[in-house]
Amino acid sequence: MPARLIQVGRGSYKVRWRDGTRLPNGRYVERSTGVMDRAAALSEKRRLDTEQKKRRDLKRGLVPGRLATLESLLASWGRWALANDVARAPHVEEVQAILGGLFDRRGWATVHDVTAAAVAAWREEGGGKGTDKPLSLLKSVLRYARSVLKQPIDPDVLTVPGRRGRRRTAQPPLLTREQVGDIIARARAQGGEDCAAILEHLSTYGCRPIDACRLRVADFNAVTGEITLRETKNGDTVTHPLLPAHVERYRKMIDGRRPADALFQNPKREAWEVKKSAQQLNDWYVNNVSSYLLKRQQWGLYLLKDYAITAMDVAGVDDRTKTLFTGHRSLQVFERYKATNKQRAKAALDKIAAPVAVAASAASAPQVRPEAQSDPA
């Protein structure tokens, strides 16, 4: 039953509604707002009607074809994603928080409100900064709404391009082996063995920094020489072998620690702080290591990950094997590295072409005997 607008005086109104609560005798409890003007009362009535629809949707389950509130749609998508192993709980919670906040700020109640024009207006505010990820998540949920719940979504929303798709940024210069060696040495001097070890781990195996920060002593098997990454971005658990030198180093590094202690500790001998990213590690790395050794565009922690994956690519490691080390589920992620490597290889050839040409020219030039040369004096 929708909320009711009740006039209680000249220009004064209340809104009454039922929230499903029953008295012992079975009768529904009717609740009421305070006195307000007509505009405020109508706004409150709309809000209560939306809340009631969401409550009804969640109670009886969403029926394909019946218009759902965006809040109930998010809840339904979350249950579906978890049940079908599409996403893990942390990712579901992140999506619901990001999109739920977006819907509230924009005043979107159903998919009828999420038009291409409405999305364009949202993205125009602030020049579109910070909207790429929410847009991508929104498209995923809308695809679910269209295919599973048969919601009447605006198909043009799914074709709205991201800002990244229109603008390609220059790739930062790939780290060299010598630079990585200098990075590890400085990390050891500034933060100790653990700090050097985590950076060397990233530059060798190519896992995400947040996954390395989450590693615990129990995840390292000193007997088999393996490490296990848990709760990766795709929710998978990945176990892979380590180089013998790293097995020995980690065995010494964790001496005296408990299984639940961090495998790689920060300079204060604590676990690296992890929220939605490895921000603490990245900040320490930039402030103490990379900004002292590298160009500005090379400061980021992910350049170590790029270095590892590129090294595997150059060594001829196939993509499926790479995933055993990096924790990626999709093989397509490595195409970017291959394309980048080709570009860098071409640039490298351009740089060495001139010296080679000079050498070839010198070899073909007529040779003059020393005694035949004119006296510079």
Domain map of the chain by residue range?
1-46, 61-164, 177-337
- Among 17-26, 299-308, 341-350, the range scoring the smallest mean pLDDT is 341-350
Which fold, 177-337? hpI Integrase; Chain A (1.10.443)
The model's confidence at residue 341, banded by pLDDT at 50, 70 and 90, is low
d(CA 72, CA 237): 31
Q: Are 232 and 238 in contact (CB under 8 A)?
A: yes
Contacts for 271 with CB less than 8 Å, ≥ 6 apart:
213, 261, 262, 265
Q: Which of 197, 361, 189 is nearest to 272 (CA)?
A: 197
- Which 3-state string (H, E, C) describes 49-73? HHHHHHHHHHHHCCCCCCCCEHHHH
Question: What is the structure's pLDDT at 336?
Answer: 54
Long-range contacts (CB closer than 8 Å, 24 or more residues apart) made by 73-79: 73/111, 73/141, 73/145, 73/149, 73/151, 74/99, 74/100, 74/103, 74/141, 76/149, 77/141, 77/144, 77/145
Interval 24-82: pLDDT, tens? 887 888 888 889 998 998 988 888 887 776 666 655 545 565 778 888 889 889 888 88
Q: What is the CA radius of gyration of the chain?
A: 30
Whole-angstrom distance, CA of residue 106 vs CA of residue 122: 8
Residue 318 has pLDDT above 80, yes or no: no
Is a pLDDT exceeding 60 seen at residue 281? yes
**162 vs 60, higher pLDDT:** 162
Helix (H, G, I), strand (E, B) or coil at 257: coil
